């Protein structure tokens, strides 16, 4: 789920809202008075390590298979 950081340009008050809350928020507030940015979701290090390991292993196996054909 994408989250948005909404910051008032004059008071610097920051709010974290999801997509439906942002739509509801700007029905009652002017877009010109606020700066909007998305919050990047944090990636799990274990998930990244697992994907990297699978990628390296698949490259090794594919290389061995190709070298046996040559």
Mean pLDDT of 7-21: 92
Write out pLDDT tens, residues 44-54.
888 889 999 99
Q: How many residues comprise the chain? A: 70
In 3-70, at which residue ranges do the beta strands (DSSP E only) sit? 3-8, 14-18, 34-39
Q: Which residue has the higher pLDDT, 42 or 21?
A: 21
Residue 69: predicted pLDDT: 83
For the chain, what are the domain ranges?
A: 3-69
Confidence grade of residue 2 (pLDDT, cut at 50, 70, 90): confident
pTM of the predicted model as reported, rounded to 2 decimal places: 0.57
CA angle 41, 51, 1 (to 5 degrees): 20
């Amino acid at each position: 789920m994408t989250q948005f950081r909404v910051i008032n340009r004059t008071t610097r008050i920051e709010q974290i809202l999801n997509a439906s809350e942002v739509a509801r928020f700007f029905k009652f507030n002017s877009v010109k008075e606020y700066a909007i940015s998305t919050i990047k979701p944090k990636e799990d290090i274990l998930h990244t390590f697992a994907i990297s390991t699978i990628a390296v292993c698949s490259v090794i196996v594919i290389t061995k298979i190709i070298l046996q054909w040559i």
